[in-house]
Amino acid sequence: MTYQFQKSTSLKLHTQLDTMMKDWGGDPGVRMNDVITAWTAPGRQPVMAAVRIKGDPEAGASAENMMKVTPDALVVLDSLAIFKGDKLEGFLTLEDSRNYLWIQNKINKTSITVKCSESEYMGLRVYDTRTKIKGKLENGKAKINVKIRAEAYIDGTHCNNQLDKAKTYKESGETAQKQINEMVTKTIEKVQQEYGTDIFGFGEDVLRQDYQNFKKVQKNWDEKFADADINVDTTLIIRRTGIRTKSFLKEVK
């Protein structure tokens, strides 16, 4: 998945990035002071949103470009740049960027697709998310617990569900919880295994909650992060449905 923006003023780009973050997630909302803080503080490494220009930059700079149905140039936000100190280590996908925001407690609203069966899916609109992190060191090994709580409503479905039954919401919520756990855990493991740099700020949580032990490993925290046991536990409650009837696909012969 990528997000594309018509090339215009930096103000318009920032406005669209803010809208994206509020409605879906993906832009970490990092400013220069955030980068400097991450560089200088123990237990966290910097990230930045990565953008690229798709098309002809010179043609895209004209006012006429903004009036075309198919612009000559687009500004595309499609990844998250991760650093170790002042060195660029690599990029994460836009989906990983959203998972990063789950951990950072920065998801305002988003949408997820839940797989009900091999060929059936349900769309959920997620809101009111809260994330809490607990961390400590046991025998020199980092133990991190990430607890995510969210509420949602059913935005669309072609699953064989009875939307007038409480059981439907409970079972769908449990399926969504498992999926979020898997998504977020996969992103964490990717960063641990491929980059070994704590962009999530787990070290900051350990510093606050287990100060004495953290000070012993502060200088090589990224190594501890790469080997940490990290557990993600999601509670998602489906409050209602935004649709009135069962999927019409069940009626198609």
Instruction: List pLDDT tens digits, range 146-202.
Output: 999 999 998 888 776 677 788 888 888 999 999 999 999 999 999 999 999 999 999
Contact 140, 54 (CB under 8 A): no
Q: Report the DSSP beta bridge partners of residue 126.
A: 110, 152
pLDDT reading at 138 higher than 60: yes
In the chain, the domains with their CATH numbers are 3-251 (3.30.300.210)
DSSP characters over 183-200: HHHHHHHHHHHHT----S
Contact 98, 24 (CB under 8 A): yes
Query: Rounded to whole angstroms, how far apart are CA atoms 169 and 135?
Result: 32
Which has more confidence, 189 or 115?
189
**Ranges 31-40, 85-94, 102-111, 136-145: which has the least confidence:** 31-40
- The percent of residues in the chain predicted with pLDDT above 90, rounded, is 47
Q: What would the mean pLDDT of 219-239 be, rounded to a whole number? A: 95
Q: In what order do the strands lie in the sheet with 121-138?
A: 109-115, 121-138, 141-157, 229-241
pLDDT reading at 21 higher than 70: no
Question: Could you give the 3-state DSSP secondary structure of residue 222?
Answer: helix
| pLDDT at residue 7, as a whole number | 43
Q: What would the mean pLDDT of 193-213 be, rounded to a whole number? A: 96
| pLDDT at residue 85, as a whole number | 85
Query: Rounded to whole angstroms, how far apart are CA atoms 184 and 96?
Result: 8
pTM reported for the whole predicted model: 0.83
Q: What is the mean pLDDT of the chain?
A: 84
Residue 252: band (very low, low, confident or very high) from pLDDT cuts 50, 70, 90: low
| pLDDT at residue 6, as a whole number | 46
Tokens representing 8 are 């215009």
Chain-centroid distance of CA 188 in Å reads: 11
Strand 141-157 to strand 121-138: parallel, antiparallel, or no bridges (unpaired)?
antiparallel
Q: What would the mean pLDDT of 1-20 be, rounded to a whole number? A: 55
Tell me the torsion sign for CA atoms 215, 216, 221, 224: negative
* Of residues 202, 211, 97, the one with CA closest to residue 145: 202
Query: Rounded to whole angstroms, how far apart are CA atoms 48 and 97?
Result: 10
